[in-house]
Structure 1
Amino acid sequence: MTETAPPVTPQSSSSPADDEDTRLAQFGYTQKLDRSVGRLASFAIGFATISATTAVFTGFGAGYFTAGGPFVWTLLLAAAVFVIWTLIAADLTAKIPLAGYAYQWTSRIHGSMLAWFAGVLALAGWICGMTGVGFILSGYLGSLFGWNMGQTSQILVAIGVMAVCMLINLYGVRFATMVNNIGVSLELVITVGATILVAIVAFSSPDNHQSVSVLFTGGTSDGSTPYVLAWLAASLGPFFGLIGVEASADIAEETVNARHVIPRTMFYALTASIVIEFGMYVVYVLAIKDQAAVAAATAAPIEEIMTQQVGPVISKIVVAVALTNVLACILANILVATRLTYSMARDNMLPFSHIWRHVSPSNRTPTYAVLGIFGLSTILLLSALVSEKAFFLILGLSSLAVCAMYLLQTIAVLIAGRRGTIPTPEPGTFDLGKARVPVAVVAAICFTLVCAALIFLPQFAGNGYVFLGLLVLATLWAFTGLRKRLATGEAGPDFSKTHLA
């Protein structure tokens, strides 16, 4: 069953530009969350969710040893795709500034059933992504402190990291964004500064760095895979590194003047991330002096490269600071995932929605949604004790699930354009206008190709089965519980008006 929502009539020009609570009421919701996020925090959330440092620290080894130096150029391929997606995301958030954008945008312009699948895909992507980052962060912590960790120890440390991020989120969005701002500031100053230092030392002598030609000549690790397939597989890291550029849209109900602020901060976060990430990839590829040592340091290749150039003391200091950036990335992912959970539960779209939509009166935080996300992440981490292969297949779902959500959103935009269900823009807000359809067509083609690559490339064998399993579970709930709720008005965008007012 698919129902379409009518266009939202824009607020009259007589209302204050920042009266977002009144605007929220137009969508049928009462303001419950803490609207305290400003421009800097909005930028920081998007930047932290992307997190250039996290992308480089977690994806460098796989990219370099899959396709060699030329893997750095896959970032430009990813950047082009995400510029297109950011145009669409900015267009929608300026018109529908609601928490849980992955669900809400599709629900408002197309219908609740397609929105259910978009929301589930995004939720799976965020949870798998932040769990994977937490697991990798625990490996860096072990290297930093000299711990001889086995798999069980690494999993327990990862659970501890997720628990810290969970507690910060429980305390409230003001504290969470403050910690996130600190992490982003450290990333912009310390991590970027350290990369510049490594570049200066590496290029001080021809013996300290690889030739620039390594950026244009690569090979596969097994020598048999066609290089173009290896190069495309290596693009997973850069694509993963830019996912979440639109994350600031998920805290739209906690952002002051959201319709104007968030579209701008999306582009600022994307631009800063592309520049920093590309610079770091290039510098660390060229700064490799001992390839065998870097290959052996599978848990922390960037730390090994830094040690080769500036010594172990500076390397450990920089890695320690960089880990705060990775922590900020996890923190931002939890923030985004919990707001999506809360938004879907508010429309009664989830099993046990009455639990997940609860907001603490004191902290103004969706308490049980935060606890639920932490619980799911913990279960995923513990699954590695049962089957390590299954664990990594589930983590590999993160990029595929989110890119599939982007594809569904783009298809919804194309359909909504024909139906006329995209809200009219307010004066002074971002609007694609006539460019919306061609941009969405290009985006749909791009995300279809990305999803196909993440399913069919040999390096991602097994991803398709996990993805299919997720769709089966989502479909089961859609037709056993959700369909009846939607048919009787017990779920969907009008549920809050009729049941929660």
Structure 2
Amino acid sequence: MASSELSHTDEDQAHLESLGYKQRLRRTLGTFDSFAFAFSYFSEISNLAIVLGLGLALGGPAFIWSWPMVVGGMLLVTFLFCELAAHYPVAGSVYNWSKALARSKIAPWLTGWLVVIAVIVAFASMAPAFGLIMPQLWQGFQLVGDGKGQYDFAANTVILGAVFIGISCLFNCVGTRTVSRINKIGIRIEIIASIVFVIAFLFKAKRSPAVLFETADTGTSHHWGYAGAFLAAAIASAYSLTGMDAASDMAEETVNPRKAAPRSMLYAVGAAAVTFFVLTTVALMAVPNPASSRYASGGLPAMIIDVFGETWGKIALIVILMALISAALAVQSFAIRVTFGMARDNNLPFGARLSRVSEKTGTPITLTILIGVIAIAILVLNVRQPQIAGVIGSMTVALMYLAYLGVVGPMLFARLRGRWPAPEHAKSGYFHLGRWGTPITIASFVYLIAGFINLIWPRQEIFNPAPPYHWYLQWSGFLFSSLVVAAGLALYYFYQRHRTGVVAEHVADRSKPLAGALGTPDSVPPSATPGKE
């Protein structure tokens, strides 16, 4: 390691200790590694295989104009997160940021709880894609039946998904460096493939970008007209852009994270925004019929096959599979860090055991395995209850929006009362919004509320698209979100609130006595008393 990196590592460790935590995770990642985790979490090329069809089915090609809206809203949120990451670069970032900003103890706990549930479910919900893609590459991957039976696909998905979850757990147990290497390979392939496909689609273009204004008559049967169809289709865009804080969640393993994490988040959002919009545009310009129902189920791979043939379709599936592998590893890494951040504060049951870091690998092995087991248990729901499993998967984004409100809401109140940012922040030389901070916070707050409402709105075409039709499935967005919040509140009030306190293994050797005041630049206040199981 270069001498400059050593000096940064010493400085990073000292800063972490000023926040109250001992350096336990291994600090081995650079800026590109940090970017790779955030960009892999987005994985827009695999999103185009999974959610592009939803957008086209609900809103036609014109649904793409919801993408700039979502990017704009999430970019505002990212600016706020960059400011926080520059001063509080810790694992469990959203949870710890809420802890630094909120006046109550329940707000940060509930924020962390929502992210933990959302990211673990997101990890599990990626597994069905393996069951969809791998048998198309080789029929031998259809391990259950011939794929035509009622439960063949679902059962096969559970087996393939469980195998990959196990492999992901193994890599995450071995160490962050291994996962990072795989992520970097994956995103390089994804970026190169995206450029190749864009150029190839342009050479095959049959129409102008005016195709992006076609609605495919999707608003004719909607009682709100195309506005209603467009809002429903906008969910496909929202599904594709959360998790930029993954870069900051890896901060305790990143060299100079106070500069690396903000840059990584902004670069990842920018790269994802361009990839999704440009690739969708040129694909719609090149396909024989942009309104074809075939693309509603087949997404980008079906478009590639129709334009270039089966061989290119296979190549596209291989690229998407590699992107999906990279994304799943990044999502589990994110889940591990955000859960670790709460567990070491003894803010989850069995916090001391869950936050224990292996001396050999520098990773929380017990926690990694537990997340894998939970993900497989969620995956099993797909066998007989695919609609319920689909609802749970789609709700992960709504829970992330709600969790982000747990940071942006307290930040807004802190700004309006003059408690954030501290004068020292502007002088620190790190990312700072200055006078734009308050209007950006207000706009982010409004966007997250509007986005959350749109995500949970009781639409049959989203939550109960196929029979049997039940009211509770149509209202499942509201019901599921309420259930998760209620369960979190019950767990906190009846079990967790009197156990909170940094686990002794993680208390900083040179920790400062912190009172949690936002006037000090480096304070994420853990409890003063080490937690006990």
Q: Does 1:86 align with 2:78?
A: yes
Which residue of structure 1 aligns with residue 490 of structure 2? 476
- After TM superposition, what 4+ stretches of structure 1 lie above 6 angstroms from structure 2? 487-492
Q: Does 1:128 align with 2:121?
A: yes
Q: Does 1:295 align with 2:293?
A: yes
Deviations 1:89-130 (A, max 9, x none): 000000101101121111122243211111111112212222
Distance, in Å, in 2 between the alignment partners of 1:168 and 1:488 is 28
Please show how residues 171-210 of structure 1 align to structure 2 within 5 Å. 171-200=174-203, 202-203=204-205, 209=206
Distance 1:222 1:388, change over 3 A: farther
Q: Does 1:494 align with 2:526?
A: yes
Letter in 1 for 2:365: T
Q: Does 1:168 align with 2:171?
A: yes
Q: Superposition RMSD on alpha carbons, in Å?
A: 2.4
Distance 1:412 1:16, change over 3 A: farther
Q: Compute the displacement of 1:303 (Å).
A: 1.8
Any idea what SS the aligned residue of 2:430 has?
A: coil
Distance, in Å, in 2 between the alignment partners of 1:159 and 1:22 is 40
Letter in 1 for 2:378: L
Which residue of structure 1 aligns with residue 30 of structure 2? 38
Distance, in Å, in 1 between the alignment partners of 2:350 and 2:359 is 20
Deviations 1:378-436 (A, max 9, x none): 11110122422211111111110001111121001122332626553262200113322
Distance, in Å, in 2 between the alignment partners of 1:369 and 1:167 is 12
Q: Does 1:415 align with 2:413?
A: yes
Greater shift, 82-91 or 491-500, is seen at 491-500
Distance 1:128 1:486, change over 3 A: closer
Q: Compute the displacement of 1:355 (Å).
A: 2.0
Which residue of structure 2 aligns with residue 232 of structure 1? 231
Distance, in Å, in 2 between the alignment partners of 1:495 and 1:320 is 48
Please show how residues 9-408 of structure 1 align to structure 2 within 5 Å. 18=9, 19-110=11-102, 111-146=104-139, 147=142, 148-149=146-147, 150-200=153-203, 202-203=204-205, 209=206, 212-219=209-216, 221=218, 223-225=220-222, 226-289=225-288, 295-296=293-294, 300-408=298-406
Paired residue total: 479
Letter in 1 for 2:93: Y
Letter in 2 for 1:468: S
Which residue of structure 1 aligns with residue 515 of structure 2? none
Which residue of structure 2 aligns with residue 8 of structure 1? none
Distance, in Å, in 2 between the alignment partners of 1:330 and 1:487 is 31
Which residue of structure 1 aligns with residue 451 of structure 2? 450
Q: Compute the displacement of 1:495 (Å).
A: 4.1
Any idea what SS the aligned residue of 1:355 has?
A: helix
Greater shift, 134-143 or 324-333, is seen at 134-143
Distance 1:316 1:407, change over 3 A: same
Contact 2:301 2:317 in 1 (8 A): yes
Contact 2:501 2:531 in 1 (8 A): no
Distance, in Å, in 2 between the alignment partners of 1:231 and 1:137 is 29
Distance, in Å, in 2 between the alignment partners of 1:170 and 1:483 is 30
Distance 1:64 1:37, change over 3 A: same
Q: Compute the displacement of 1:318 (Å).
A: 2.4
Letter in 2 for 1:343: G
Deviations 1:260-281 (A, max 9, x none): 1111111111111111110111
Distance, in Å, in 2 between the alignment partners of 1:379 and 1:222 is 38
Deviations 1:19-54 (A, max 9, x none): 100111111111010101101111111111111112
Which residue of structure 1 aligns with residue 438 of structure 2? 437
Distance, in Å, in 2 between the alignment partners of 1:479 and 1:419 is 31
Greater shift, 445-454 or 310-319, is seen at 310-319
Distance, in Å, in 1 between the alignment partners of 2:28 and 2:500 is 33
Q: Compute the displacement of 1:216 (Å).
A: 0.7
Q: Compute the displacement of 1:451 (Å).
A: 0.7
Q: Compute the displacement of 1:211 (Å).
A: 5.6
Contact 1:219 1:227 in 2 (8 A): no
Contact 1:42 1:265 in 2 (8 A): yes
Distance 1:158 1:486, change over 3 A: closer
Distance, in Å, in 1 between the alignment partners of 2:46 and 2:318 is 13
Any idea what SS the aligned residue of 1:396 has?
A: helix
Distance, in Å, in 2 between the alignment partners of 1:31 and 1:455 is 39
Distance, in Å, in 1 between the alignment partners of 2:208 and 2:260 is 43
Distance, in Å, in 2 between the alignment partners of 1:81 and 1:402 is 14
Letter in 1 for 2:255: V
Distance, in Å, in 1 between the alignment partners of 2:480 and 2:171 is 31
Distance, in Å, in 1 between the alignment partners of 2:197 and 2:320 is 10
Q: Compute the displacement of 1:141 (Å).
A: 1.5
Contact 1:250 1:339 in 2 (8 A): yes
Distance, in Å, in 2 between the alignment partners of 1:488 and 1:379 is 30
Deviations 1:275-312 (A, max 9, x none): 111011112222222568x6347653322211111111
Mark the runs of 5 or more structure 2 residues left unpaired by the alignment: 1-5, 148-152, 464-473, 508-523
Contact 1:50 1:242 in 2 (8 A): yes
Distance, in Å, in 2 between the alignment partners of 1:234 and 1:70 is 9
Distance, in Å, in 1 between the alignment partners of 2:50 and 2:383 is 21
Distance, in Å, in 1 between the alignment partners of 2:319 and 2:502 is 53
Greater shift, 33-42 or 386-395, is seen at 386-395
Deviations 1:121-168 (A, max 9, x none): 111221222222221232112222244432211222122222222211
